[in-house]
Structure 1
Amino acid sequence: MAIAEITTKLLAAKKDKGITFEELEKTIGRDETWIASVIYRQASADMDEATKLVTALGLPESTAEELTIPPLKGSLEPQIPTDPLIYRFYEIMQVYGMPIKAVVHEKFGDGIMSAIDFSVEVDKVPDPKGDRVKITMCGKFLPYKKW
């Protein structure tokens, strides 16, 4: 995965300041995962959001403008991902992708889940056998039209 220069700069500033995505959520007023997607240049911020982000990270305000440019989305290379966490999502889709698709079609009909009108939340669920990762994806259903 190629990391944009601006992403490297933002992540370094975030680390130097010791700021979490959750803290940025409180400062900017947007979900922590959305903020991470702006930093990784998978989403664009408006100027107010971008200014709040770079200010919180102690970067020059001039840095904000780049975060308002609509990015080229899709950061994964076309081969199977090798990062263990990202690979697990690939593995999940290999194992459960078709079953999830079948259930979605049974409940909604022929269509897709929007990745535009979409949100994702990442939560930590304490468990005595080891904490669990809870990921909730919520996307608008878009039926295929007939013509």
Structure 2
Amino acid sequence: MISKQQAAEAVRHAKAVTGVTWEQLAEAVGRPLVWTTAALLGQHPMSKEEAAKAAALLELGDDVALAFQLQPTRGGLDAAVPVDPTIYRLYEVIQVYGPAIKELIHEQCGDGIMSAINFRLDVKRVPDPAGDRVVITMDGKYLPYQW
């Protein structure tokens, strides 16, 4: 059996070889783009049917499809502070704006958190005269602390 990490590497390789896009994979699987991408990178378990569709489109075997179905260890990065520039910039955004986001959630919603379990995420490119922008929308259910 291969691990979810090995399956993720197989996905990256197969995408390069086949030219299949994340959007095509999401359409084939029938799930949102960001969820599908995260799942194929090892962050969510897929159903047997979803895994089979993704593996077929990527021309990968049953061993990889099985790995897509395994329960993940979520949120694991190679280092405490990410070194990949794109991931680091997101980390930097949270370092700079995290306390403000926390304060605004508490002021507007009360003592609680934004769920990362009941969660939606969207990423899109938006044209701008000063240079294209990346718009990331995080949409998590508010969960009040209950004592």
Which bin holds the TM-score, normalised by the shorter protein?
A: over 0.9
Per-residue deviation, 1:69: 1.0
In 1, are the aligned partners of 2:55 and 2:61 still within 8 Å (CA)?
Answer: yes
What pairs with 1:65-80 in structure 2 (closer than 5 Å)?
65-80=66-81
Per-residue deviation, 1:18: 0.4
Q: Distance in 2 between matches of 1:143 and 1:116?
A: 14
Per-residue deviation, 1:65: 1.5
What pairs with 1:109-128 in structure 2 (closer than 5 Å)?
109-128=110-129
Does residue 133 (structure 1) correspond to residue 134 (structure 2)? The answer is yes
Percent of aligned positions with the same letter in both sequences?
A: 42
- Could you tell me which residue of structure 2 aligns to residue 96 of structure 1? 97
Q: Distance in 1 between matches of 2:64 and 2:8?
A: 11
- Could you tell me which residue of structure 1 aligns to residue 143 of structure 2? 142
Task: Find runs of 4+ consecutive structure 1 residues off by over 6 angstroms.
Answer: none
- Could you tell me which residue of structure 2 aligns to residue 13 of structure 1? 14
Q: Distance in 2 between matches of 1:138 and 1:19?
A: 27
Does residue 41 (structure 1) correspond to residue 29 (structure 2)? The answer is no
Q: Distance in 2 between matches of 1:7 and 1:78?
A: 18
Q: CA RMSD in A?
A: 1.4
Per-residue deviation, 1:77: 3.8
Per-residue deviation, 1:75: 2.1
In 1, are the aligned partners of 2:51 and 2:68 still within 8 Å (CA)?
Answer: yes
| Unmatched 5+ stretches in structure 2 | none
Q: Distance in 2 between matches of 1:62 and 1:101?
A: 42
In 1, are the aligned partners of 2:26 and 2:37 still within 8 Å (CA)?
Answer: no
| Unmatched 5+ stretches in structure 1 | none
* TM-score of the pair, normalised by structure 2: 0.92
Per-residue deviation, 1:78: 4.8
Q: Distance in 1 between matches of 2:68 and 2:26?
A: 16
What pairs with 1:46-57 in structure 2 (closer than 5 Å)?
46-57=47-58
* TM-score of the pair, normalised by structure 1: 0.92
In 2, are the aligned partners of 1:11 and 1:39 still within 8 Å (CA)?
Answer: no
